[in-house]
Amino acid sequence: MDSALIPEGAKRCSFPKFYMGIAVVGAVVLWGLLAWGLIYWKGLNQTNMNDYYGFALWIWADLAVIAVGGGAFFTGLLKYIFKIDELKNIINFAVIIGFICYSSALLILAIDIGQPLRGWFIFWHANVHSMLTEVAFCLSFYFAVLTIEFIPNILENRQANKVSFFHHLAHNMHGIMVIFAATGAALSFFHQGSLGGVAGVMFGRPFSFREHLNIWPYTFFLFTWSAAAFWPCFTLLVTKITETITGKKLVGDKTVHLLSKIAGWMITSYIIAKIIDTIYWATVTAPSLGFKWTHFYSNNALYGKWMLFTELILCGVLPGVLLIMKSTRENSKLRLLAIILGVIGVCLNRWVMVLQVMAVPVMPFDTWALYIPSWQEMATTILPVAYGIILIALTYRYLPVFPQEQELNYPVEEEAVDEPVVAPAAEPVAATE
Amino acid sequence: MKQEHNKAHKFGMVIDLDKCTGCGSCMVSCMSENNVPFKDDESDKKKSITWMRVYKLTNGKSFPDTEIVYMPRPCQHCGGKGDHGHSPCVSVCPATATDYGYDTGIVSQIYTRCFGCRYCMGACPYHARYFNWWDPKWPEGMEKYLSPDVSPRMRGIVEKCSFCYHRYQAARDQAYAEGDKDNIPEENYQTACTTACPAGAIVFGDLNNPEHKVHQIVKPDPHPDPRNKHVVGKSRNPKVFRLLERLGTNTKVYYLSDREWVRKQGDNYLEGEWDKIKNHHGDTSHG
C-alpha cells in the first residue's frame, strides 16, 4: 500500500502489520496526551510534586534524555570536524535519536512549567545569571540545528527525492553540514554543561553545590563530559533494539566496535574525573558547610551508599573497563551489558542530581522528603518514549536511515548487480519484521 | 538640581525564640495580610502555603529534660554570598521574576512574570518559597476581607514572604508626603507578623540604622567574617544567630536565644565542631 514510499530495495513488513504496531504505541501516546490535557486543565496539582519537590520526575527525564541524546552533536563533531568517516554509518540514526530526545525535552519542559503561556518570558526577561536561561537558549537553538540536520534525511525519502528541488536541497545541505555540526557541538557543550550547572550553582544545597572554575561549577564540565561519554551507549542500545525488532543487521561491526571504543575511553576518563570530584566534595566542600558526606546517604528509605556505588562503580567503572578491553568490547553479550549499565549510570547520575538534591534535609531540624510520581507524571514521561518509538519506526520504514542496511542484509542482491539479466529480489537474511 | 540618592535600607528582623510560644499568630496574620488562599486540605504541609511557618524544635532529650522551642521562619531575604544581592533564589530565576532590592535588602517576587519553573524553590534551603498548585480559593464571604494592597496570586506561580512590602510602600509614601523621604520612622514600617506577635518576640526594622531596635539587638558586623569570606553581617551579639549561616546565604532574619542547644540548631556542625565554633559567635568572634 505504501511501497512507493519505502526506500528502494529495502524490505519492510506489511502495511497493516506496521500500523497495528503503531496503533499499540499510539494508545500509549493517547494516554500521555490525556494526562497532559489534565495537567493543563487542572494544573500541576495533578502531580505528586510539592514544595519540597519543585523539581522531580520531569526534570530528571529532561536531563536524562538530553544526556543520552547527546550523540547527535558528538557524532557530528567526530564525523564532520574530526573526519572519522566510519561514523557515517550511524550519523543519520544519531541525529534522529537526538531529534527525538531534544523535542521530548522541550515537550516535557512545556508540561512542567506552571504558566505555560508565559514560557517565552525565559527569553524575553532573561536573567543572564541563571543557568536555566542558558539551557533554554542553547536547547532551543540546538533543536533548530538538529531539525536542519534531520531535514536532508527526510528529503531523501524515495518520493521526496524525485522532486528536483528537494533532491538538490538535501545534497547541498549535506555539503554545508559541517557548519551545523560545529554550531551544534558548541551549543551542546554549553547546554549540557548548563544543565550540570543548574544543580552545581545552588549554594543553598550542599549536596549538589560544587566549587567553581571561574563562573562554572565542576558539574558544568562533568555533565558535558558524561553526555559525551554515554551517548554511544544509548545510540548502540537503541540500534540493538531496532535490529532486534526488525530482525536485520543495520550497523556494521566495525562502526559498533568504534563507537564502543570511544564510549569506553570517554566513560573511563569521565568516571575518574567524577570520582575525584566526589572525593573532593565529600572531604572538602561538604565538611566546610558542616556536613559529613554520610549525612546525604543515611536516615532515609531510599538514598543509601548503594546508590553512590551503583552510579560510580557498577554503572561507571565497570562499563568503562568492559568497553576499553578489546576482548570484552567485541563480545556482543558483554558489550550489551556494558551499554545497558552505561545508560543506567548516566540516568542515575541525573536522578541523583535532581531528586536526591531535593530529598536531603539542609536545616538541622528538617527531615528527608521522599516522593512517588503520580500516574499523570508517569504518563507524560512515557509519552516521549512512545513518540520516539513511533518516529523511529516511521523513519526506518520510509527513510534511508542506515546506509549499510543493503550490504549487511542483502548480499545476494549486491552480487546480482554484475549479472547481465535482472535477478529476482532476494529475501532478506532474517526479514522477520 | 543634583539628585540625592537615598541611603540604602537593609530591612531585617530578629526573633526571640525564648519569647515565642508557638501560638501561630504570626502565621495567621501573615495569611490574612497577604491574601494567602486556603486549601481543601491544609494538613499536607508540603503543599499548603505558609509564608511564615513555625517549626517545632526539641533538644532531643527525654522527660524530664525535654525542652521545646518554636522557630518562626519567614523568607530569610538572603543577600547571597558576600551580601552582594545574589540570593540563592534570585541568581537562579531564569526570567528575573524574583529580584533583590538594593535599596531595601528585600527579595521580591514578581507574580505576573513568574512562569512557574520552580528553580527558586529548589535553590532555597529554607523552603520559604511556595508554589500555587491550585487556583486560589477563599471560603465564601472571605473574599470581602481580601487586602486591596496585595495582589492575589494565580495558579502555577511561586510566592513567598515579602516582608509586607506594601507596608513599606505606604510608609515610604507617607515619608515623601511629609517631606522627609529619607527617614522612614521605625514604627511606620512593621510587618504583620511583628505587630501580631502577642509575646513581642519579633523585632523588625532597618539593620543599617543604629537607632532601630533590630540593629541594637543584632549589632551586625558589616565586614566579612574572617573565617568565611562569604559571610557578611554576622551578629556581634553572642546570643544571636542566623539559619545556615555557613552556606553564605547572608539572611536578614536573625534568631535570639539564651539556650546553647537552640543556637546550635541554627546550623550544621561536624562532630566536635560546635564546641570550637560556638565561642566564635557574636561579640567574641572578632575579639
| The pLDDT value given to residue A413 | 52
Residue B218 in grid coordinates: 543584632
Beta-sheet strands, E only, within chain B: 11-16, 53-58, 68-73, 98-100, 107-109, 129-131, 158-160, 202-206, 224-225, 228-232, 240-242, 253-256
Which residues on B lie below 8 Å from A366 (Cβ)? 127
Q: Using CA coordinates, name the residue in chain A closest to B97.
A: A125
Whether A52 sits inside 8 A of B156 (CB atoms) is no
| The pLDDT value given to residue B281 | 56
Query: What sign has the CA pseudo-torsion A64, A68, A72, A78?
Result: positive
Q: Using CA coordinates, name the residue in chain B closest to A122.
A: B95
Query: What sign has the CA pseudo-torsion B220, B261, B76, B27?
Result: negative
| ipTM (interface pTM) | 0.92
pLDDT tens string B244-278: 999 999 999 999 999 999 999 999 999 989 888 77
Residue A220 lies in a domain: yes
- Pick from A203, A357, A358: which is nearest to B247 by CB? A203
The answer to whether the CB of B9 falls within 8 A of the CB of B204 is no
Q: Is the pLDDT of residue A423 over 70?
A: no
Q: Is the pLDDT of residue A167 over 80?
A: yes
pLDDT tens string A31-73: 999 999 999 999 999 999 999 999 999 999 999 999 998 877 8
Q: Nearest CA of chain A to the CA of B89: how many Å?
A: 9
Show Cβ contacts of residue A132 under 8 Å, excluding neighbours closer than 6 positions. Answer: A122, A194, A198, B92, B94, B117, B119
| The pLDDT value given to residue B279 | 63
Question: Which CATH number applies to B11-286: 3.40.50.2020, 3.40.50.1110, 1.20.120.80, 3.30.70.20?
Answer: 3.30.70.20
Q: Is the pLDDT of residue A430 over 50?
A: no
- Pick from A53, A114, A292: which is nearest to B156 by CB? A114
Instruction: With cut-offs at 50, 70 and 90, classify the pLDDT of residue A428.
Output: very low
Which of residues 175 through 204 in chain B touch A, CB cutoff 8 A? Answer: none
Which residue range(s) make up the domain with A215?
A: 15-411
Q: Is A307 helix (H, G, I), strand (E, B) or coil?
A: helix
Looking at the structure of chain A, the number of domains it has is 1
Q: Nearest CA of chain A to the CA of B122: how many Å?
A: 6
Which residues on A lie below 8 Å from B71 (Cβ)? 365
The answer to whether the CB of A175 falls within 8 A of the CB of A327 is no
The answer to whether the CB of B261 falls within 8 A of the CB of B67 is yes
| The pLDDT value given to residue A426 | 39
The whole-number average pLDDT for the span A278-289 is 96
pLDDT tens string A360-409: 999 999 999 999 999 999 999 999 999 999 999 999 999 999 999 989 98
Q: What is the DSSP letter of A429?
A: T
Q: Is the pLDDT of residue B285 over 60?
A: no
Residue A424 lies in a domain: no
Q: Using CA coordinates, name the residue in chain B closest to A354.
A: B122
- Pick from A122, A206, A289: which is nearest to B95 by CB? A122
Q: Is the pLDDT of residue A358 over 80?
A: yes
The answer to whether the CB of A390 falls within 8 A of the CB of A145 is no
Mutate to test the interface with B, among A38, A58, A115 (most CBs of B within 10 A): A115
pTM assigned to the model: 0.92
Asked if A130 reaches chain B (Cβ–Cβ under 8 Å), the answer is yes
- Pick from A136, A290, A366: which is nearest to B267 by CB? A290
B10 by Cβ neighbours in 10 Å (0-12 / 13-18 / 19+) ranks as: buried
Give the neighbor-by-neighbor strand order of the sheet with B202-206.
B202-206, B11-16, B253-256, B240-242
- Alpha-helix runs per DSSP H in A176-247: 177-200, 218-246
- Pick from B94, B154, B246: which is nearest to A133 by CB? B94
Q: Using CA coordinates, name the residue in chain A closest to B263.
A: A364
CATH number for the domain that contains residue A403: 1.20.1630.10
Give the integer Cα–Cα distance in Å for A329 and A242: 20
Whether B115 sits inside 8 A of A206 (CB atoms) is no
Q: Using CA coordinates, name the residue in chain A closest to B55.
A: A365
Asked if A164 reaches chain B (Cβ–Cβ under 8 Å), the answer is no
Whether B249 sits inside 8 A of A204 (CB atoms) is yes
Residue A430 lies in a domain: no
| The pLDDT value given to residue A105 | 94
Q: Is the pLDDT of residue A313 over 60?
A: yes
Q: Where are the domains of chain B?
A: 11-286
Asked if B54 reaches chain A (Cβ–Cβ under 8 Å), the answer is no
Rounded to 10 deg, the angle between the A15-42 and A375-398 helix axes is: 150
